Amino acid sequence: MKVAVVGATGMVGAVMLKVLEERNFPVTEFIPVASERSVGKEIVFKGKPYSIIGLQDAVNARPDIAIFSAGGGTSLEWAPAFAEIGCTVIDNSSAWRMDRTKKLVVPEINAHDLTSEDKIIANPNCSTIQLVMVLAPLHKKYTMKRVIVSTYQSVSGTGIAAVNQLENEIKGVKGEMAYPYPIHKNALPHCDVFEANGYTKEEMKLAREPQKILDDRSFSISATAVRIPTAGGHSESVNVEFFNDFDISEIRKILHETPGVTVQDNPDTNTYPMPVYAHDKDDVFVGRIRRDETQPNTLNLWIVSDNLRKGAATNAIQIAEYLVEKNLVGESVSRA
């Protein structure tokens, strides 16, 4: 299995390498890929040094799977080139997510929709993934009507420049600003760029992507996305109105039994999800499970996940694992 990681030198790319190693993904040939300025640099994978190559050389190497985390522009330009030679692309950018011809996949929810014909597969937004991991089993049981979500997102979701800004501000050092304002001791209600309707792109991703993943547009989502000065891990306050009533104990049971979800919910012992606990873990954590007492059939939840792992790298590699398990990759490349 020839595997290319495009954007191997970035924050998510580094986590992808780590997750590939941890999960012992069957890599027989590893192809690290990055921008021209990184070509020739060395990175280490499974204890061996590898030289970074450029995108055209990576296409010429004919990988079976290419996992992209290099930005939307790179994905739009290069993913089709990889797909054309029979490689299956799993893309972590927003470039293909809402393309009607591409599938948007969270493996626990809709990997079964994938076929060998899917040569460009979209990885959802990090905040979307942790949201739908919890909401999908509840929607199946009670049918969602409306969701209101407020996010508390770490600076790592913006990238290394934002992490550096936070670290510089903590140390009192002047440096490059990834945000229009200081982030240390602050909260910015501004994730990604603003759109014409007054919402940010991040907020509109949260509104649209879950409908596509669940293949259901009968429910609506309204989001407010906030950047906070944590180094890693995204948190979400979620209010869900269902068409059908529920029992809290049954909600907890459903979530306890959902693969990839861990319930942390005991007010008596101050047990609830936190970014510091979710760090470097693949599960999505949910707690503060309680009925909204102001209106019928409505639930409040608190959801936390490591945005660089399940929110990005792990989800992408789980897609790759499914493709390998179902023999949906590899053959077309070898024949090409």
Active site residues: 126, 234
CA-nearest of 93, 119, 64 to 331 is 64
- Strand pairing class (220-227; 234-242): unpaired
At residue 19, what are phi and psi to the nearest 5 degrees?
Answer: -70, -40
The first and second tokens of residue 125, run together, are 């937004």
CA-nearest of 304, 4, 312, 320 to 158 is 312
Q: How far apart are CA 147 and CA 41, in angstroms?
A: 46
Compute how many other C-beta atoms are within 10 angstroms of the C-beta atom of residue 233: 29
The first and second tokens of residue 298, run together, are 């409505």
Compute how many other C-beta atoms are within 10 angstroms of the C-beta atom of residue 326: 13
Q: How far apart are CA 282 and CA 310, in angstroms?
A: 5
> Is 119 in contact with 83 (CB distance < 8 Å)?
yes
At residue 208, what are phi and psi to the nearest 5 degrees?
Answer: -100, -40
The first and second tokens of residue 40, run together, are 């020739």
> Is 67 in contact with 317 (CB distance < 8 Å)?
yes
